[in-house]
Chain A
Amino acid sequence: QSALTQPASVSGSPGQSITISCTGTSSDVGAYNYVSWYQQHPGKAPKLIIHEVIIRPSGVSSRFSGSKSGNTASLTISGLQAEDEADYYCSSYTTSRTLVFGSGTKVTV
């Protein structure tokens, strides 16, 4: 299985909104509403920030939101803050009952 495609980097100024795309196929992203997003700061373990495309776990800021259209999912960070500077990874469940991660996006504030 091939990694989902994400832009290598996205940048924005404090207070702005940015969107990270995650493109897969009809066998993963397009198959189910089972896309997750993770935030990873340097030297730390990933943190789940979105699951099932749009659901934020308890404690995750409402500035993070997810969406999906066809084979592409997106993560939007609104009101960008310095603490949002991190790597972001999407993940999707597949029709083979496996998981696949995205290539990762470095967000610079």
Chain B
Amino acid sequence: QITLKESGPTLVKPTQTLKLTCAFSGFSLSTSGVGVGWIRQPPGKALEWLALIYWDDDKHSNPSLQTRLTITKDTSKNQVVLTMTNMDPVDTATYYCAHRLLRAGGDPFDYWGQGTLVTVSS
């Protein structure tokens, strides 16, 4: 059974760096085809794709946020970490991590974490 869970600070100050961890079970990021992505959703607004990392360490991120985002994986710990620099109040959102559906084109996400709400405020 695949599960994912996000963790990190619930409150960050403007200009600070956010570090979120996605701890998962039921799959390995060393298996061919596996990928884990991050998606966020501001309160009452739409989903926004942030980044995705694959089993072979290939990674892609939203071009609008690319300079602020870093995604890494720790295969031995079954974790994916997302770092976002220079946080601003507009970055207040629920942040989700999700598992990429295997053997599917276009990187759909079939399993999602419960999400973690991050508020940016001084």
On whether A34 and B105 interact (CB within 8 A), knowing A98-B49, A99-B52, A101-B49, the answer reads yes
Q: Which residues in chain B, 102-116, are within 8 Å of chain A measured between CB atoms?
A: 104-110, 112-115
> Does A64 count as interface, using CB distance less than 8 angstroms?
no
Interface digits, B59-97 against A, CB 8 Å rule (1 contact, 0 not)? 011111000000000000000000000000000000010
Q: Name B residues whose Cβ lies closer than 8 Å to a Cβ of A.
A: 37, 39, 45-49, 52, 60-64, 96, 101, 104-110, 112-115
A87 CB to nearest chain B CB (Å) = 9
Interface size on A, residues (CB 8 A): 30
The docked-state distance in angstroms from the alpha carbon of A17 to that of B92 is 36
B64 touches A36 (CB 8 A): no
Most A CB contacts (10 A, CB to CB) among B45, B108, B114 go to B108
| B49 in complex: contacting residue of A35, A52, A100, CB < 8 Å | A100
On whether A104 and B63 interact (CB within 8 A), knowing A34-B105, A45-B115, the answer reads no
Most A CB contacts (10 A, CB to CB) among B46, B61, B101, B110 go to B46
Q: Which residues in chain A, 33-68, are within 8 Å of chain B measured between CB atoms?
A: 33-36, 38, 40, 45-48, 51-52, 55, 57
Chain B residues with CB under 8 A of A45: 96, 112-115
A46 CB to nearest chain B CB (Å) = 6
B47 touches A38 (CB 8 A): yes
Q: Name A residues whose Cβ lies closer than 8 Å to a Cβ of B.
A: 1, 3, 32-36, 38, 40, 45-48, 51-52, 55, 57, 89, 91-93, 96-104
Chain B residues with CB under 8 A of A40: 47
Closest to A97 in B: B60
A93 touches B105 (CB 8 A): yes
Chain A residues with CB under 8 A of B47: 38, 40, 46, 89, 91, 101, 104
B49 touches A48 (CB 8 A): no
B108 touches A48 (CB 8 A): yes
B62 touches A46 (CB 8 A): no
